[in-house]
Amino acid sequence: MIRLAWLFSAASVAVLVAACGGGDGGTAALISSEPIDKYVGNWTNCQATVVSGVNVSALTSFTATKTDATRGSFTTTVTVFAITSCTGLKLADPVPVPQLSGNVAIDSVGTGPSGSDKITITPSTLPSFKDLALVTGGQLQFGDAGSAKDAQGYPTALDSSFILTKQL
């Protein structure tokens, strides 16, 4: 089964290989009242890597919008930088990742490991799959692709190797 974490890694590597060949405005924080609200916004992850002996980094930007109380849509882009901190000279402008863009539905709130939500992800160009999502302390984690599956087909553990941070 296709897993989101694997897709993030694969997309980042693909962009890296191809490339190498804000503030909150002073507004008060919104109080979430519906299950999808905690996921809405822009989330990022910076991963340093070495491509052809060169240290570079990939900034994954994951943006989620609300469709209704338990559904949303999302887009993902990857930007490649010349140094490992995802700052400075861009080697490539943000590249959309269609495999990591699509729709998400919360199937069960807080019933997964560590209180995570059980979700179904429907990428634009791939079949749907079951996953986990957990927001804690401004960080977003998804399920571990390598973990065992429960009786319903959801992962039984969270992936601690790819964590996105909410941008305000």
CA separation for the pair 142, 135 (Å, rounded): 9
pTM of the predicted model over 0.85: no
- Is the separation of the CB atoms in 126 and 111 below 8 Å? no
- Please list, residue by residue across 42-59, b when 16 or more beta carbons sit within 10 angstroms of its beta carbon and e when fewer do: ebbbebebebeeeebbbb
Domain residue limits, the chain: 4-19+35-167
- Is the separation of the CB atoms in 70 and 106 below 8 Å? yes
Q: Look at residue 163 and give its three-state secondary structure.
A: strand
Q: What is the pLDDT of residue 31?
A: 62
Q: Look at residue 100 and give its three-state secondary structure.
A: helix
Q: What is the pLDDT of residue 84?
A: 95
- Extract the tokens encoding 14: 């693909």
Q: Look at residue 150 and give its three-state secondary structure.
A: coil
- Extract the tokens encoding 78: 């990857």
CA distances for 23 relative to 39, 78, 81, 102, 168, angstroms? 18, 21, 22, 26, 6
In the beta sheet, which residues pair with residue 168?
A: none
Q: What is the pLDDT of residue 99?
A: 86
Q: What is the pLDDT of residue 93?
A: 87
> Which residues does the chain have with pLDDT short of 50?
1-29
